[in-house]
Structure 1
Amino acid sequence: MSKIKETSTNFANKQALADECPEVYAANIIGGQWAIVICSWLINGKLRFGELKKRLPNITERMLTLQLRKLEENKIITRTVYAEVPPRVEYELTPIGYELKPIIKLLESWGEKHKALDEEKQPAI
């Protein structure tokens, strides 16, 4: 995963846009295919790392770890470590993370409609 250098013009432009535009700020936090899917699964309640991995079979463990850290850093999810042997770690949405539920449902609905339109345009084989 490439990271934009904080000294680059691209970073400065992205930062300025996010500072001015709350929609861009929000998209930077939950943008990308994995963040939305992780939040979609966590809407239904707490999950452990292995449970998330099973629900997202195409994500690498490294990418899942990076995405969970980013979501935690942005206060969308919380990570709870239980003092057990073996240790148990659970992830869940924070209150502000749960506020994404209607947004995710609207994205789901929009995606279904757009996909249907896109499939109508496909030539018959």
Structure 2
Amino acid sequence: MSFLSRRFLGREETLLEEVLRNLHHLLNAKRGAASFLPGFGLSETGFRTAEEMLGQLGAEIRENIRLYEPRVEVTEIEEDYEGENGRLRLVVHCRLRHTAEPLSVLIDPYTRAMAVAPQTQPEEE
């Protein structure tokens, strides 16, 4: 578990809490902001079509999780449209390698807001 959490907060994090905290930092970082890790984080969405943006973000999410959070394996990234306004978001389906516990994370590609999804894995057909 995290040294800082144990030392300064006086509590142990579960594996899931630690992974979620790391994913939050990783997926909210701006790509290129750390000169010593140029591929860390996600690119700004900028003036791209929705398809270009989703394709690039999907590839960057896979790459970043593979490189910087090896305790997680991405199984699928899908598009989802939220609520009545149809706001686009990404659903990253993954699993913890150590326990095979499924996990789904919702990401708003415009604001980079991240939340754990209530559903855990896409249904098998």
State the TM-score, normalizing by the size of structure 1: 0.28
| Higher-helix-fraction structure | 1
Structure number with greater CO (CA < 8 Å, separation at least 6) is 1
Which is strand-richer, 1 or 2?
2
The structure with the largest alpha-carbon Rg is: 1
